[in-house]
Structure 1
Amino acid sequence: MGASEQAGTEMSFLEHLEQLRWHLIRATAAILIGGTVAFLAKSIIFDVILFGPRDVNFPTFRILCNISKAIGLDQAFCLDEIPYTLQSRKVAGQFSAHMWTSITAGLIVAFPYVIYEFWKFISPGLYENERKNAGGFIWISSLLFFMGVLFGYYVVTPLSLNFLGSYQVSADVMNEFDLDSYIGIVRASVLASGVIFELPIVIYFLTKIGLVTPDFLRKYRKISLVVVLILSAIITPPDIASQIIVAIPVLILYEISIIISKRVIKNQLKKEKAAKAKR
């Protein structure tokens, strides 16, 4: 029996919808506030953050350059110039990019509060001890999301832009990308990585409701490896090095998810034994 039922305050379907509506309104308001701040900080959002991976001195490029020198590849991964330019060919192109980028930034900044509103919506159906874990859930899910965002920004984005920006089918074709296309690559890389890094949280809930077990995860580990490689191929350029770089943290998260699933099952068994002992 959930918390709301125990307290004798079980809500109707329409009341649940009303609650959900207000949670969505508050979450949306937080995103819009974050987006407004990002909109006003245009120079930081675009010149420093968004266009950062276009700089040859971007940290990722410097690290790859130093690694290539250390292992004897000389200047193999060192950039002298960015092999593409950006352009905006639509009348409202730059303003539209400014708006949508601000909203995306607002979503990223407001993510902990969005998760908080999500938790507030589902918490009435949970037990008291589960509701006490709200702080830990919000903190861990936010930490994983931000780790994924940083990984997408510092690893996936520069690798993708460098590969796609330098790729040519002919020397007669110049790489002059539309601003929307460039921003789309950055946004997809960052948000996709943020979502993928939530894997342990997803596995936790799937285990709680009985859809996943540690044995299931171990049994299909090889299939999961294939899925991870496919995901890596989707969000990275089609070169083996980039796919491996992206696949490694995802595989680590998968192994962590197995440990989490095992712990959830163990706690559930303890609760069942304790309940039987009280009878």
Structure 2
Amino acid sequence: MSTFDTRTDRDSGEASEGDQTFVSHLAELRDRIIRAGASVIFAFIALVYWSPDIFRLLARPLMENLPSGGKMIVTDVTGSFFVPMKVTMAVAFVVALPVVLYQVWAFVAPGLYRNEKRLVVPLVGSSYLLFLCGMAFAYFVVFPAIFRVMAHYNAPLGAEMTTDIENYLGFVLTMFIAFGVTFEVPIIVVLLVRMGALTVEKLRKIRPYIAVCAFVVAAVVTPPDVFSQLMLALPLIVLYEAGILAAWLFVRNDASASDDGPPAS
């Protein structure tokens, strides 16, 4: 057999192994997606019986702050059925999110270094907890305050405050996502420092710009009143400062670990 034939056989063998590896990765990705989706569906099936109660729980901040005679309405024929189903599906996704994140982790873990694996697990766990904290802050603090202010604005106009359940669902989901992402700011700051994109000193220097951006984001996301904007902008600024502190501690611990090397022989 000639040298050319030998090289050709070797190249074709490497290409075949590469194709098999790619196909196996696709198969594993498919299995991970199916398991993640199945966890969400299972959680939805377990919660669907209580979907009206879940929607009433979601609507409680509004209902408790509506003036006398205020109520929620349904403007779509199927809204009274599908809106509680959507709420239940969203809750099911949040409940099943640890399983979904684990499937993502199991797929990418073989390609990570050991130190990256040690970092990802607490990072994902803290991200999930911070997102839940952001949602809880929106539900227990922000929603009652916003609805109370909105009801106060309607009173001098003599307008009856009625809200369509579909519009209400869109509003609360937007707020949940906004505050959930806002509470992820410390994680984002630590990651930026960890990857070397920014330093702690640079983060401190851009504080004024972050404060301006916080109020801009709050003005876009929240209702058009100063109080609601403060409810989002101030936590964002505080969480940014918490991220700087966490990044500073992280850098200091890394420096200490690098200095404490094995003693010279």
Question: TM-score, normalized by length of structure 1?
Answer: 0.74
| Distance in 2 separating the partners of 1:245 and 1:254 | 15
**Compared CA separation, residues 21 and 211, structure 1 to 2 (3 A):** farther
Whole-angstrom CA distance in 1 between matches of 2:253 and 2:28: 31
2: distance between equivalents of 1:122 and 1:205? 18
Q: TM-score, with normalisation over the residues of structure 2?
A: 0.77
Write the distance in 2 (CA, Å) between the matches of 1:195 and 1:12. Answer: 36
The question of 1:145 aligning with 2:131 is answered: yes
**Contact persistence 1:204–1:261 (CA under 8 A):** yes
What pairs with 1:154-169 in structure 2 (closer than 5 Å)? 154-168=140-154
Q: Distance in 1 between matches of 2:85 and 2:132?
A: 22
Question: Structure 1's 80 and 146: CA in aligned 2 closer, same or farther, altered over 3 A?
Answer: closer
Unaligned 5+ segments in structure 2 are: 1-19
Residue deviations 1:202-244 (CA, integer Å, cap 9, x gap): 2233333222321221121111111111222233333323322
Which residue in 1 is equivalent to 2:116?
130
State the one-letter code of the partner of 2:130.
L
1:265, distance to aligned residue in structure 2 (A): 3.7
Partner of 2:244: 258
Instruction: Answer yes or no: is the 8 Å Cα contact 2:67–2:161 preserved in 1.
Output: no
Is 1:39 matched with 2:39?
no
Provide the residue aligned with 2:35 in structure 1.
Answer: 26
CA gap of 1:229–1:99, structure 2 versus 1, over 3 A, is same
Structure 1, gaps ≥5 residues long = 1-10, 57-78
2:62 match: 54
Secondary structure at the residue paired with 1:177?
A: strand
The CA distance in 1 between the partners of 2:91 and 2:228, in whole Å, is 25
Q: How many residues are matched?
A: 245
Shift of 1:105: 0.8
> What amino acid maps onto 1:174 in structure 2?
E
Q: Could you say if the C-alpha distance between residues 166 and 14 of structure 1 is closer, same or farther in structure 2, counting changes exceeding 3 Å?
A: farther
Higher share of residues assigned helix: 2
Q: Please list the CA deviations of residues 85-129 of structure 1 after superposition, one character each: whole Å capped at 9, or x if unmatched.
A: 211121111122022111111122222223323333332232223
* Contact 1:233-1:243 within 8 A present in 2 as well: yes
1:186 matched to which residue of 2? 172
CA contact (8 A) 2:54 2:84 kept: no
Please provide the CA RMSD for this pair. 3.2
Kept in 2: contact 1:84–1:165 (CA 8 A): no
Higher mean alpha-carbon deviation, 160-169 vs 199-208, is at: 160-169
Does the aligned pair in 1 maintain the 2:72–2:164 contact within 8 Å?
A: yes
Q: Helix, strand or coil for the counterpart of 2:163?
A: strand
Distance 2:190 2:23 in 1: 29
Q: CA deviation at 1:199?
A: 1.6
> CA–CA distance in 2 between the matches of 1:124 and 1:263?
29
Rounded to whole Å, the distance in 1 between the matches of 2:197 and 2:174 is: 29
- For 1:1-279, list aligned pairs within 5 A: 15-47=24-56, 49-56=57-64, 81=67, 84-168=70-154, 171=157, 173-266=159-252, 269=255
2:38 is matched by which residue type in structure 1? Answer: A
Distance of 2:213 and 2:70 partners within structure 1: 32
For residues 246 and 22 of structure 2, the distance between their equivalents in structure 1, rounded to whole angstroms, comes to 33
C-alpha separation in 1, matches of 2:34 and 2:190: 27
Distance in 1 separating the partners of 2:164 and 2:150: 13
Q: What SS does the corresponding residue of 1:51 show, helix, strand or coil?
A: helix
Instruction: Write the distance in 1 (CA, Å) between the matches of 2:235 and 2:74.
Output: 35
When residues 181 and 93 of structure 1 are mapped into structure 2, their CA distance, relative to the original with a 3 A threshold, is same
CA 92–156 in structure 1, closer or farther in 2 if over 3 Å, else same: same
Instruction: Tell me how far apart the structure 2 counterparts of residues 137 and 230 of structure 1 sit (CA, whole Å).
Output: 28
